[in-house]
Amino acid sequence: MRFLPIFLDVQRGVVLLAGAGDPARAKLRLLVSAGARVRWYAVGGKHDLSGLRADEASRVELAAGDPLIAELSGVVAIVCAGAGDIGPAMSARANAAGLPINVMDDLDHSTFIFPAVVDRGDVVVAVGTGGASPVVARRVRERIEALLPERIGELASFIGRWRKTIHDLIPDFALRRRFWERVVDGPVGELVLAGRADEAESALKNVGDASAFIGRLQSGEAAGSVTLVGAGPGDPDLLTVKALRALQDADVVFYDELVNPDILGRARRDAERVAVGRRVGKPGMGQDAVNRLLIEAARAGKRAVRLKGGDPFIFGRGGEEVEALRQAKVAYSVIPGITAGIGAAAQFEVPLTFRHQALRVTFLTAHKASDAEMVDWSTLTDVAMTIVVYMGMMAAPSVRKGLLAAGRSPKTPVGVFARATRSDAAAATGTLDELPELVEKVAGGPAILIIGDVVAHAMPARRQQLTQLASLFQVAAE
């Protein structure tokens, strides 16, 4: 670390800005957005306040003359941006006066540098690269921005407002810290983050006389929770921002074997990881045992994540887990994921609906031939319906038989999409008549079957890549 990040209160004095053009204006915007009063010497150019709000512009003093001989009393920092070659001389003045100085693109004459900033009100994140690469700093900032809840600044302000009251109410430091952790991680924090600060406010008001609450804190009685998280079909970048956040908060992750190891890798590094899912052909832990593990973890005060492939509520047995958690009175929430059918459709460009062609979509499962026999195929004969079959590889012959018997045309386009959105994804397309052979072609699951006229629009992965590369280099695709 070459530069120590510190946060400077620029509202206490004046920032002297020397320079003109876009570089100076960018610094001006940043400084006034932090509430600074700025004395601006437009060295080598003109003053230009366009783009500033009236209250911001009113804090800018348009100075004339030479900044090198300007009065420095009341100045808290000096910034040179787009100021030609006066940087070194300004730097010498700043050093003599003991003031921090930044000369743009000149580390040798700067005693501070500007980080890339994530600005969420009271919560501010500064990203620096020691001046080496602003572009890298900006990319890091974007990632952090995506991770932080939108209202994290409001949460900080909310706590700020209650600090004194709670301090008086819970004098014990360790207890108070536990209290705040509970607020930030629990339902009160969730209310604030959801934009319902009023309700959070009344929740904390009740704490005022709730000595029972403090008693519970003291006795160490913990309240954990379970979050059912949809991990999506495989590509870790298809996790939702919320899913990622839950993974990074988790004390323990109970995962299905279907979940891509790269996704599990996004969990907090020291989170415990427990495999609970079953796989085709291999016996796994029964659902009751999984439910018990989830409840036990929450009761032990842990933040448990139940990580499932795709979406928890699409053939993921999330419904059963929720029932069990409700019965056990354990706090839980559900975070949706991109289900395999949707992931495959996007990757292989199968529009599941299409104007005048496909007006409905059905998700169904046909794990075993016996499941396939339970399906009433006569309800699936509408040619304007796209059918997405989960766990249908083994039962492909029964699926074909059922649909043909119900009267769907043997020429109906179908696709088998295996390991969709993973690096080893594969697809085979053809007609309903050929369905079992297509399943053979993709060399292993998991795979989704999609049946319906829309499959005719599909584009196999290889050709897709070629088209994309071709357009990237402006070459004809054919």
> Of residues 172-211, which lie at the interface with ligand SAH (CB under 6 A)?
none
- Torsion, Cα 210 215 221 226, to 10 degrees, reads 10
Q: Which is nearer to ligand SAH, 87 or 233 (CB)?
A: 233
Q: Is 385 in the site for ligand SAH (CB under 6 A)?
A: no
Cβ–Cβ under 8 Å, residues 438 and 445: no
User: Which stretches does DSSP call E strand in 19-59?
Assistant: 37-41
One residue of 170, 420, 438, 451 binding ligand SAH per CB under 6 A: 420
Pairing of the two strands 225-230 and 116-120: unpaired
Does residue 447 interact with ligand SAH by CB under 6 A? yes
List 67, 224, 234, 413, residue binding ligand SAH (CB under 6 A): 234
Among 311, 336, 395, 428, indicate the residue that binds ligand SAH (CB under 6 A). Answer: 311
Class of residue 326 by CB neighbours under 10 A (exposed 0-12, middle 13-18, buried 19+): exposed
In one-letter notation, the amino acid at residue 276 is: V
Question: By C-alpha distance, which of 232, 218, 223, 279 is closest to 251?
Answer: 223
State which of positions 349-368 bind ligand SAH (CB under 6 A).
Answer: none
Closest approach, Cβ 418 to ligand SAH, in A, equals 6
At residue 18's C-alpha, the angle toward residues 23 and 87, to 5°, is 90
Q: Are 294 and 318 in contact (CB under 8 A)?
A: no
Length reported for the chain: 478
| Out of 308, 372, 414, 429, the residue judged to bind ligand SAH by CB under 6 A | 308
Question: Is there binding between residue 446 and ligand SAH (CB under 6 A)?
Answer: yes
Q: Which is nearer to ligand SAH, 153 or 430 (CB)?
A: 430
Binds ligand SAH by CB under 6 A, chosen from 87, 310, 402, 452 = 310
Candidate list 315, 332, 348, 377; residue touching ligand SAH; CB under 6 A:
315
Q: Closer CB to ligand SAH, residue 115 or residue 233? A: 233
Three-class secondary structure assignment of 340-404: HHHHHHHHCCCCCCECCCECEEEEEECCCHHHHHHCCHHHHCCCCEEEEEECCCCCHHHHHHHHH
Q: Kindly state the smallest distance separating residue 291's Cβ from ligand SAH, in Å.
A: 17
The strand order across the sheet containing 14-18 reads 60-63, 37-41, 14-18, 75-80, 101-103
Q: How many residues bind ligand SAH (CB under 6 A)?
A: 25
Q: Rounded to the nearest 5 degrees, what angle is found at the Cα of 286, between the Cα atoms of 281 and 290? A: 125
Residue 309 engages ligand SAH in binding (rule: CB under 6 A) = yes
Where does this chain touch ligand SAH (CB under 6 A) — which range of 132-140, 148-156, 281-289, 413-421?
413-421
Task: Mark the segment that binds ligand SAH (CB under 6 A) among 86-94, 160-168, 309-317, 460-468.
Answer: 309-317
Q: Which residue is nearest to ligand SAH (CB)?
A: 310
Least Å distance, CB 368 to ligand SAH, is: 12
The residue range among 65-73, 187-195, 214-222, 338-346 that interacts with ligand SAH, by the rule CB under 6 A, is: 338-346
Q: Rounded to the nearest 5°, which phi and psi values hold at 280?
A: -55, 130
| Strand blocks (E) in 391-469 | 413-418, 426-431, 447-451
Instruction: Determine contact, residues 171/179, Cβ cutoff 8 Å.
Output: no
Are the beta carbons of 372 and 399 closer than 8 angstroms?
yes
Amino acid found at 426: A
Decide if residue 335 touches ligand SAH (CB under 6 A).
no
Of residues 350, 428, 448, 458, which one binds ligand SAH by CB under 6 A?
448
State the minimum distance, in angstroms, from the CB of residue 375 to ligand SAH: 15
* Only segment of 48-56, 214-222, 267-275, 418-426 that touches ligand SAH (CB under 6 A): 418-426
Distances (CA, A) of 383 to 109, 140, 358, 395, 429: 72, 48, 7, 22, 18
Interface mask toward ligand SAH for 279-298; x: CB under 6 A:
--------------------
| Position 316 contacts ligand SAH (CB under 6 A) | yes
Angle between helices 173-185 and 211-218 (to 10 degrees): 100
Judged by CB under 6 A, the residue of 340, 387, 395, 438 near ligand SAH is 340
Single-letter residue type at 400? R
State how far the alpha carbon of 159 is from the alpha carbons of 123, 215, 222, 258, 466, in Å: 12, 21, 21, 40, 53
Amino acid symbol at 427: A
Which of residues 60 and 389 has its CB atom nearest to ligand SAH in the complex? 389
What is the C-alpha to C-alpha distance for residues 224 and 236, in angstroms, rounded to an integer?
26
Cβ closest to ligand SAH, residue 149 vs residue 234: 234
Window of 16-24, 89-97, 145-153, 440-448 that interacts with ligand SAH by CB under 6 A: 440-448
Q: Does 233 bind ligand SAH (CB under 6 A)?
A: yes
Our finding on whether 16 is near ligand SAH (CB under 6 A) is no
State which of residues 239, 372, 391, 439 lies at the interface with ligand SAH (CB under 6 A). 391
The yes or no reply on residue 419 touching ligand SAH (CB under 6 A) is yes
Nearer of residues 80 and 366 to ligand SAH, judged by Cβ:
366
Binding site for ligand SAH (CB under 6 A): 233-234, 258, 308-311, 314-316, 339-340, 344, 390-391, 417-422, 445-448
